[in-house]
Structure formats: structure tokens, C-alpha cells
Structure 1
Amino acid sequence: MKSLHRAWIVAAVAFVAIIGAAGFRATPGVLITPLEDAFGWSRGTISLAVSVNLMLYGLCAPFAAALMDRFGMRRVVACALLLVAAGSGLTVFMTASWQLVALWGVLVGLGTGSMALVFAATLTDRWFVRHRGLVTGVLTAGGATGQLIFLPVLAHLTEMQGWRWASLTVAAAALAVVPLVWFLLRDTPEEIGLTALGATEPVVRTPAVRTPDGGAAARAVRVLRDAARTRHFWYLAIGFAICGASTNGLVGTHFIPAAHDHGMPETTAASLLAVIGVFDIAGTVFSGWLSDRVDPRLLLAVYYALRGLSLLILPRLFAATAEPSMLVFIVFYGLDWVATVPPTVALCRKIFGADGAVVFGWVFASHQIGAAVVATAAGVTRDHLGNYDLAWYGAGVLCLLAALMSSRIVTRVRDGREAAILVG
């Protein structure tokens, strides 16, 4: 009987770690209204803390990828989980809005950003040759799984016990995963005398992967400088910024308060967002499987186009109860939510080679910049206009633009020329 390759155990530990850190991703949507009621802060003020978090969540990513190369995934991820636990747990003592920005924004932002999606990209690059796309999809779905687990729990705790219990639950979940990561996660298969799953011989880590001089930050900046000279980097980065704007920034942050504006109970809205997490898991895993078989540029174009059309319809679907039309949107949007990640990781790996994980870190940074801008902009729009309609329609149009850009992503062919693939 063939024994289980250690890569699967490492991937399982990573999946649990991502779930543990994902508790905070469910927090803002659930707590915006309770914090508004408890402290009298405006929705724009609370959204600012979310924006700082999303910004750091992204900007840390390329440096985290380089730090994982230099110090190892285990150390970086364990420290990241401790930051998430501290930032979430200390919110129970806050009395002013700047403290929310410091804790939610800075501490938790640094923690979540230090593992984020680059953790999945780095791990699959080191531990898998076969099934890379599939495993990337599964690990990416870990965030959705965490959202699925935490959203209804946090909504119920907030309703029954208050928002502080929800914050403490997130802190406890992140803290509980630290021992698992420390004792079971390993940085490379070569470290324990193995080869990556599907590899025929051990991988020699080249300077492109481990740069002893200049440090992790210097390498991250160098990789950005080189990548930014290419058009395909900007197509990926701008498209992913729009992806972040339309998911974490808008739906993830404002769907629950927007539904509440239309008379829907927060627990019902949180349950709908959790259902998005259910279908997100299926959509992301399937997208990873497709990324091993279908041109990832085509996948991105289709995903963004369908997302844009669904957002243009969403404002008409809100009601005091979850109507069938809203349920159709929830299922569809869930399937599409993080489906963009596996093809984006695949393109970064294919185009930029050994620097692919760090390049994806920068592309992911743009994702979170887009999310941060829209998280605040949507909150301010709601404060001034009394509704979110402009935010929904604007995000829909931007997604259609992302679909167009994805269809124009270029790849370098053997003779050095750049060739563009037109979709449709």
C-alpha cells in the first residue's frame, strides 16, 4: 500500500491555518452596525479601519513571500497568527475610533497580510509539481471555509452576547492554530529528505528563490521593478485590484449592512454571506482544477464578465426577506468569488517563473488596494446618498473592464516576442 505523501499533510495544516486566520474576514460585515450603535461612529469611520486592514493585507503580501523564502513559512505564519489574535482580542478594550484603526487596521492587517494568498502560492510551488492548480484552489478555499464557519457563529454571538464576544472568538481561533503550524508545518520537502509531489528529483533552490544578499525587502522591490516593466503584470494587477474591490471591499464589507438597510435581519444577511462561502469553496476548487487544463486567461475573462453582470443586477434584489432571486445571486457570486485566484497564480508562475510567488504577492497587493479604496468609498457613498446603488453599479462596470483586460494578457513566446490572446 502506497503511503501518503507528506505534501498532503503540509497542505492540510496550511488549510487549517488559513481557516484560523479567516475568522477576521467575517468580522467587519457582522460588526459594522453593532459598532455604529455602540460608539456612535459613522459607517465611513468604521470602513476606514477596514480599509487600512485591507491595504496592509495586500501590501504585506510581496514582502511576506520574500520573508517566507528567507526565514521559512513556519515562522512567518506562526507570527502572523499571533498578530491576528492580538489585534482582534485587544479590540474589547478600545474606546476611540483611532484604536479600531490601530487594532483592526494595523495589527490584524499585518497578521493576515503576512500569510494571505501568497502562503498558498509559496507552499504549492515548493511542495507540489502535480496537482498544483487543484491544491492552490483548495487552499484558497480555506478562507471561504473560515468565512462559512465564522459568519453565522459571529452573527449569533453578536446578537446574543455582544460584539466583544465575537472579537474574542476570532482571537481564540487564530491562537489555537499556532501550535499546529509550529509542530507540523515544514518549509520544503528537501528539509526532511523528500521531493515535491510529482518531482523526480530534489529541487535545487536557486538565488531567484533564496536571495542571501539585500534581504527579503530588497528582493521584493527588485521583483516588482522587473515585473512592472511588462504589460502583462499591469493587466494582472489592475484586474486583480478590481477583483478585490468587488469582493472584499464591497460585498464582503458592505453586503450585510446594505441588506439591513432594506429591512433584512443581520443574522439572515450573515447567513447569506456564509452561503457565498459554501459555493466559494466549490467554485475555487473547480477553478483550480480547470487552471491545470484550460488557458487561465480565458478563465479570468469569463469570471470577471459574469461577476460584473451579476453586480449590475444586485441592487434590484435586496428585500426584507431572502427572495429566490437573491438566492440565485448568492449561489452564483459564491462560485465566482475567489475563482480568480488559481488562474492568476498560474499566470504569475508561468510568466515570471521562480519569482512567481513574489510577483503574485504584488498582484495581490493591488487586489487589497482596490478592496481598501472601495471599502471606504462605499461607506462614504452610503453616508451621503443613503444607499449603496452607485457602489454596486460602479463595481459591475469595473468588472467588465477587468474581463476585457484579462483577454489581453500577454505571454512571452520562445523567440522573445509578446503575443496576445484575444478571447471571444
Structure 2
Amino acid sequence: MRDLTVTDRPGLLRRTGIHPAWFVAIIGFFALIGAAGFRSVPSVLMDPLHQEFGWSIGTIGAAVSVNVTLYGLISPFAAALMDRVGVRYVVAGSLLLVSLGAGLTVFMTQPWQLWLTWGVLVGVGVGSMSMPFVATITGRWFVRQRGLVTGILTAAGATGQLVFLPLVSMLAQAHGWRAPSVVVAGIALLAVPLVLLFLRDFPSDVGVLAYGAEPGSTDGVRTEIKGGATEALKVLARCSRSPVFWLLVGGFMICGATTVGLIQTHFVTAAHDHGMPITTAASLMVLVGIFDIVGTVLSGWLTDRIDSRYLLVAYYTLRGVSLLFLPSLLGPTAAPSMWVFIIFYGLDWIATVPPTVALCREHFGDDAPIAFCWVFTSHQLGAAIAATGVGIIRDVQGSYNLAWYLAGGLCAIAAVMSLAIRRKIVPVIPQLAAA
């Protein structure tokens, strides 16, 4: 391969003065929004599906469980697939799966069809281009501003919820549940040509280095495939010998159960049980998405200054207390106390991510990125268990009250597990100690 320097620029860079990495980031952002759009659908359509087909909330929640389980399980291996066949082909294929899964729901008449479309097709599609996609794009295309771009692309998931949740809610109210499924399928499909036309695997494919790379460096130059799926399994084997890994897994599993599995999947239906219009409840979830972005950025800032274990203890404790109060806050209108809960829960939603990543980095070193992917898998498994379990509680009890109390207790367990994590002691070199 020829020697690349920052003077090797494609036509677009010469005309605009903007590094191609930023165009790749923009395309990635819209692709992630297109995939994330369907994540706002189940919570709004759960009640309409129950009314039309008579399916129990637990049955519908099981489809969400399949979705988030596959979302988590496929993440550690998706990056290897991107290495094998190329990022843009994997992303384009993922968007097609999301579009196909969303579109086929309009023809379903049996629960197994819901599990296949919502669960398998959309779960594999979204899971193949979530965190692995973000890590691949930022790792290959950026040296400077890598953290900023990582935060922006991660926020695309929340942005997708912001964009689609009110739209899905209004369409479901006006035209029935099939209309939003078709709209989400169409939007995911529209993103496919953008990905195929403008997304590239490496900066060297368009004759540049990564953004911020020094002249003469190899940052952004296409490299040979390493490890792949086998390496992901080897990292899992190494990390599983550490008690810290299992403490992080346990805490993050509870995190997923009390966010995606509980609130994201069931809050709209729970609020509607208390007389709140679906559109109002959906709007409250939009606020969760807004403050989710703010809370994640703030948590990252705090992680640089405060012991990550104590941050996790605080996040889980406060989340648990808020869930214990939630049954008394639900009603036909959004009272000021409910607004306080929504704002707080949004700030706390994925605030656990930065300190969890920091602890993985501290304890697992070079294995930290893949180690975190496995920890994230436990997050999605927890969400899957909660999505089904909470639906069963609603079917049996006739209300969600028991689910809120159990979730509050689980958060207390997560706080204790976080406190039990020991700091890694770095060996002191005798010569340095003497100095």
C-alpha cells in the first residue's frame, strides 16, 4: 500500500475543506437514528395489539425480550463481521432487517409472527449496528475528537426515540398501529442508499488518514483482520475469572432491567392504566430521552473526577428510591411530581455507562472494549427478562405496582454490588518508590 499523508485528499475534501471523517460520522448518525426508530414502537403499540388480537401483555413483552436479547448477544461479534465483509455492507444489511421486520408486522395474525418480526429480525438488525458500529467508526476515522464523536453517535439512540416516539404515538392514535410500523420501515429503508453511497470502511479507502492523525502515521490505514469472533470468546474466558467482571455484569443486568425492560417497555402502558392518554405518556418518554443525553455527558465529566464505584452506588440507589415512589405519582395527568421523576430518570438512564466503562478499563486493560461489550450483553439480558416478567406481573396482578417495588429492591442490590468492587492496586516499581 502506498504511503499516505494528510495531503492525499479526495475531491470532496479539496472542495469543502471538511475532513471525510465528519461526513462518515453524519451518515453513521442518521443510520443509527433509522435503526433506533423501532425501539420507540413497542411501548406505544403494546396496548393496541392487546386490544385487537387479545394477546396478553406478557406475550407481547416476550417479543421485546427476544429483541433485546439478540441485541445484546450479537454485539460482541458484530465488529468481527464488519471486519470480514465491510462496515457499509453490514450496516446496510442491518437497516434492511429492521425495515423488513417492521414492515412485516402489518401482516401478522399470530404471536409467533410478532416474535419473529419484532424479536428476531429487528433484534439482529439493531444489535449489528449499535455499539460495535460506534466503536468501529470512531476507532478507524478519528484520532482527535474521538470522545466527542463517540458521545454524539451514542446519543443517536436517544435521538431516534425523540424523533419517532411522538410520531408513532400520533399515527397509532389516528390511523391504528399498522401505520407507524410502515413509517418506521420506510425510514430505515431510506437510510440504506446513503450508507452504500457514502460510508467507507477506512480513511485510506478515500486517500486520507484518520482525522487528527499525524503525517506519516498509520492511523486510518486499512489493516489485516485480527482475532474476530474467536478473540471475543477468549476475552470472555479471561475476564470471567475476575470477581469484578461478575459484579459489573450483575449491576448492569439490573440496570437494563430497570430501564429498557421496565420503563422503556412498560411505562406508557402503566401510565395509560391510570387514565393518562398514550400521547401524554409518550411525550414524557421523549423527555427521558432529552435528559438522557444531558445525564450521560455529565456522568462522563464526573467519572473523570470521582471514584466510579461511588458514582454507580449513587446512581443505583437514587434510581431505586425513585421507583418506590412511582406508583403514587401515576395518574390521569402529568403532575409536577411526575415531571420531577421523568427528569431525574432521564438524567440517570445511561449515566451508569461512563463509570462502568472506566472500571472495565481499570481492571481489564487492553481487553476493556470487548469486556464492556460482554457486560453490555448482560444489560440486554436483564432488559429481556424484565420485559417479559413485568408483563406477566401486569397480567396476573392487574397492575404494575409489584414490578416497581421489585425493581427498587434490585437497584439496592446493584448498589451493594458496585460498592463491593475493589480498586485495582497498581504494583509499585521499587526504583520509582525510592525516587
Structure 1 residues 386 and 153, CA gap change in structure 2 (3 angstroms): same
Taking structure 1 as the reference length, the TM-score comes to: 0.89
Aligned twin of 1:107 = 121
Question: Counterparts of 1:18-167 in structure 2 under 5 Å?
Answer: 18-167=32-181
Aligned twin of 2:218 = 202
Structure 1 residues 193 and 359, CA gap change in structure 2 (3 angstroms): farther
Q: Retained in 1: the 8 A contact 2:63–2:115?
A: yes
Structure 1 residues 308 and 26, CA gap change in structure 2 (3 angstroms): same
Structure 1 residues 368 and 404, CA gap change in structure 2 (3 angstroms): same
Q: Retained in 1: the 8 A contact 2:203–2:220?
A: no
Indicate yes or no: 2:223 matched with 1:211.
no
1:323 to 316, 335, 349: 335
Aligned twin of 1:338 = 350
C-alpha deviation, 1:121, in angstroms: 3.0
CA distance in 2, matches of 1:384, 1:100: 22
Letter of the aligned partner of 2:113 in structure 1? Answer: Q
Aligned twin of 1:306 = 318
Deviates more, 1:188-197 or 1:50-59: 188-197
Poorly superposed stretches of 4+, deviation over 6 Å: 204-207
Deviations 1:292-327 (A, max 9, x none): 555544433332222222112111100010000001
Indicate yes or no: 2:276 matched with 1:264.
yes
CA distance in 1, matches of 2:90, 2:425: 36
Aligned twin of 1:15 = 29
CA distance in 1, matches of 2:213, 2:320: 40
Q: Retained in 1: the 8 A contact 2:142–2:212?
A: yes
Q: Retained in 2: the 8 A contact 1:50–1:372?
A: yes
C-alpha deviation, 1:87, in angstroms: 0.4
Q: Structure 1: where are the runs of 5+ without partners?
A: 418-424
CA RMSD of aligned residues (A): 2.6
Deviates more, 1:156-165 or 1:390-399: 390-399
Q: Retained in 2: the 8 A contact 1:280–1:337?
A: yes
Aligned twin of 1:238 = 250
Q: Structure 2: where are the runs of 5+ without partners?
A: 1-15, 430-435
Structure 1 residues 291 and 220, CA gap change in structure 2 (3 angstroms): same
Structure 1 residues 300 and 5, CA gap change in structure 2 (3 angstroms): farther
Q: Retained in 2: the 8 A contact 1:298–1:407?
A: yes
CA distance in 1, matches of 2:305, 2:148: 10
Structure 1 residues 236 and 118, CA gap change in structure 2 (3 angstroms): farther
Taking structure 2 as the reference length, the TM-score comes to: 0.87
Letter of the aligned partner of 2:295 in structure 1? Answer: G
Aligned twin of 1:277 = 289
Question: Counterparts of 1:355-394 in structure 2 under 5 Å?
Answer: 355-394=367-406
Structure 1 residues 340 and 190, CA gap change in structure 2 (3 angstroms): farther
Q: Retained in 2: the 8 A contact 1:138–1:284?
A: no
C-alpha deviation, 1:35, in angstroms: 0.2
Structure 1 residues 316 and 231, CA gap change in structure 2 (3 angstroms): same
Deviates more, 1:159-168 or 1:182-191: 182-191
Deviations 1:180-211 (A, max 9, x none): 2222223333444544445443249999x942
Q: Retained in 1: the 8 A contact 2:209–2:221?
A: no
C-alpha deviation, 1:133, in angstroms: 3.6
Letter of the aligned partner of 2:345 in structure 1? Answer: Y
SS of 2:253's equivalent in the other structure is helix
CA distance in 2, matches of 1:163, 1:367: 29
CA distance in 2, matches of 1:369, 1:296: 23
CA distance in 1, matches of 2:31, 2:186: 13
- % same residue: 59
Deviates more, 1:386-395 or 1:231-240: 231-240
CA distance in 1, matches of 2:145, 2:311: 18
CA distance in 1, matches of 2:353, 2:380: 13
Deviates more, 1:261-270 or 1:178-187: 178-187
Larger Rg: 2
CA distance in 2, matches of 1:287, 1:276: 16
C-alpha deviation, 1:141, in angstroms: 1.4
Structure 1 residues 32 and 15, CA gap change in structure 2 (3 angstroms): same
SS of 2:182's equivalent in the other structure is helix
C-alpha deviation, 1:175, in angstroms: 1.1
Deviations 1:157-184 (A, max 9, x none): 0010110111111111111111222222
Deviates more, 1:260-269 or 1:115-124: 115-124
Structure 1 residues 380 and 15, CA gap change in structure 2 (3 angstroms): same
Deviates more, 1:129-138 or 1:113-122: 129-138
Q: Retained in 2: the 8 A contact 1:66–1:219?
A: no
Count of paired positions: 413
Q: Retained in 2: the 8 A contact 1:44–1:380?
A: yes
C-alpha deviation, 1:267, in angstroms: 1.0
Aligned twin of 1:248 = 260
Aligned twin of 2:416 = 404
SS of 1:65's equivalent in the other structure is helix
Q: Retained in 2: the 8 A contact 1:137–1:288?
A: no
Q: Retained in 1: the 8 A contact 2:33–2:160?
A: yes
Q: Retained in 1: the 8 A contact 2:202–2:220?
A: no
Letter of the aligned partner of 1:344 in structure 2? Answer: T
